Chains A and B, each alone.
Chain A
Amino acid sequence: MIKVLLFAELEDAAGKRKIELDMADVTVADVRERLVAEYPGLRRIDRAMPAVNEEYAEADEKVNAGDTVAFIPPVSGG
């Protein structure tokens, strides 16, 4: 299982913050593709920066079972 976290506009679009995907040994791009296929409302996920296990990651980064992939929309703290 891969744990996915969605925030802000993405959380609203999917209607949830946490999603578990039955996937293993894939890339961030594969996870993103699967999410858009299952949740058409997540088109804007392309604007978000992925993070794997709490560190920003590129689309080709490997993701294994047990990892957490978060999608970080443009931030607005401060």
Chain B
Amino acid sequence: MTLQRYSITDRPLDVTEVISLVEDRNAGAINTFIGTVREMTKGKRTIYLKYDAYVPMAEKKLAQIGDEITSRFPDARVAISHRTGELGISDIAVVIAVSTPHRADSFEACRYAIERIKEIVPIWKKEHWEDGTEWIGDQRETKAYPAGKPGKENLS
């Protein structure tokens, strides 16, 4: 099965496979971000997490993030995979790979991609703590949706 460049999947993520989607003879750098499940958050212990997504829209929004990156760094190649379903501690939730001709752009673009995922991609995390469950929103701890929605600047 060929992996799409922007995918939501309920299967374990393979970092090498995501990287292979951005390999390029003209790239001098491939930057990766791997998001993993953390056990302790502010003193609370996570047993496992469950991710859910609005899959078709989430894949479109991942592709939009890729477009935003290439409009700024035209030579960049981007791939993002996010997992859904039940994940245990240290499991990989998201893999981002960005290749660019020079290293500075790949760092910047990769950072941009993960921050943007936390703003506009319809994926939700349900924490199963030692002492209960909770859907997590607003994890950037900004006012997530002032006036009940992302600002226009988040939607362009």
Residues of B within 8 A of A9 (CB): 135, 137
Give chain A residues whose Cβ lies under 8 Å from the Cβ of B145: 47-49, 74
Q: Is the CB of B135 within 8 A of A12?
A: yes
Whether the Cβ atoms of A75 and B118 lie closer than 8 Å is yes
**B117 at the A/B interface (Cβ < 8 Å)?**
yes
User: Interface size on A (CB < 8 Å)?
Assistant: 22
Contact A77 B155 (CB under 8 A): no
Query: How far, in Å, is B13 (CB) from chain A's closest CB?
Result: 13
A-contacting 9-mer, from B18-26, B49-57, B71-79, B101-109: B49-57
Q: A7-B122, A54-B56 are in contact. Are A77 and B148 (CB under 8 A)?
A: no
Given contacts A5-B54, A77-B94, contact A47 B118 (CB under 8 A): no
Q: Is the CB of A78 within 8 A of B93?
A: yes
- From 33 to 60 in chain A, residues with beta carbon under 8 angstroms from any chain B beta carbon are 46-51, 54-56
Q: Is B138 an interface residue (CB 8 A)?
A: yes
Residues on A with C-beta less than 8 A from B122 are 7, 51, 70, 72, 75, 77
Which secondary structure dominates chain A's binding surface?
Answer: mixed
Chain B residues within 8 Å of A5, by CB: 54
Bound Cα distance from A8 to B137, whole angstroms? 10
By a beta-carbon cutoff of 8 Å, the part of chain A in contact with chain B is 5, 7-9, 12, 46-51, 54-56, 70, 72-78
Cα distance, A22 to B135, chains bound together (Å): 30
Residues in B neighbouring A54, C-beta threshold 8 A: 54, 56-57, 60
- Closest 7 A/B residue pairs (Cβ): A77-B123, A74-B137, A74-B144, A8-B124, A54-B57, A49-B149, A76-B136
B33 and chain A: residue at smallest CB distance: A78
Whether B124 pairs with A77 at a CB distance below 8 angstroms is yes
With A8-B126, A54-B60 known to touch, is A74 a contact of B54 (CB < 8 Å)?
A: no
Task: Identify B148's interface contact among A7, A46, A51, A75, CB under 8 A.
Answer: A46
A74 to chain B, nearest CB (A): 3
Contacting pair B54 A76 (CB below 8 A): no
B123→A75 contact, CB < 8 A: yes
- A49, A54, A74 — which one has the most chain B CB atoms within 10 A of its CB? A74
